[in-house]
């Protein structure tokens, strides 16, 4: 087994055992990373690398869109869908027009969502006074 095989197995195990909250965080983190890679590759005039990174970022945003349950999530889910749709269009634009600023914009938007998502996760795992009181 090569080092690359071991790394791939480790990554796959991380995804397979992650909580739903962690999976969304991983998508945000991966999207941010790919947007930055795409922007840097555009700036360096490495168009093949830019396209690959931006296509991966587009796939991540599409996965975030597909994971939304608009019926159950109501207005918030609908707004997130529209936000993701905007980001997807900007990534397509970045890839077609070689626009590093558009890729960076999406990285920033995903970063903002990731921050909020992390705060939600902390609120869910931090015991409240009533939970602590019920334990004791």
Cβ within 8 Å of residue 105, ≥6 positions away = 90
Q: What angle do the packed helices 47-66 and 70-97 form, to 10 degrees?
A: 170
Closest to 120 measured CA to CA, from 31, 33, 25: 25
| Contact of 77 with 68, CB cutoff 8 Å | yes
Tell me the domains of the chain and their CATH numbers. 20-123 (1.20.120.340)
Q: What confidence tens digit (pLDDT) does each residue in 49-106 have?
A: 999 999 999 999 999 999 999 899 999 999 999 999 999 999 999 999 999 999 999 9
Q: What confidence tens digit (pLDDT) does each residue in 5-42 have?
A: 555 544 555 556 679 899 999 999 999 999 999 999 99
């Amino acid at each position: 087994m090569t080092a690359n095989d071991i790394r791939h197995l480790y990554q796959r195990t991380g995804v397979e055992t992650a909580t739903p909250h962690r999976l969304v965080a991983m998508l945000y983190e991966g999207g941010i990373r790919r947007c930055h890679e795409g922007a840097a590759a555009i700036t360096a005039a490495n168009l093949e690398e830019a396209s690959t990174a931006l296509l991966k970022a587009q796939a991540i945003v599409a996965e975030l869109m597909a994971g939304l349950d608009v019926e159950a999530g109501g207005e918030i889910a609908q707004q997130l869908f529209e936000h993701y749709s905007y980001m997807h269009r900007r990534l397509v634009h970045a890839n077609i027009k070689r626009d590093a600023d558009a890729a960076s914009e999406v990285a920033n938007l995903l970063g903002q969502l990731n921050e909020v998502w992390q705060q939600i996760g902390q609120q869910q795992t931090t015991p409240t006074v009533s939970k602590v009181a019920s334990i004791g």
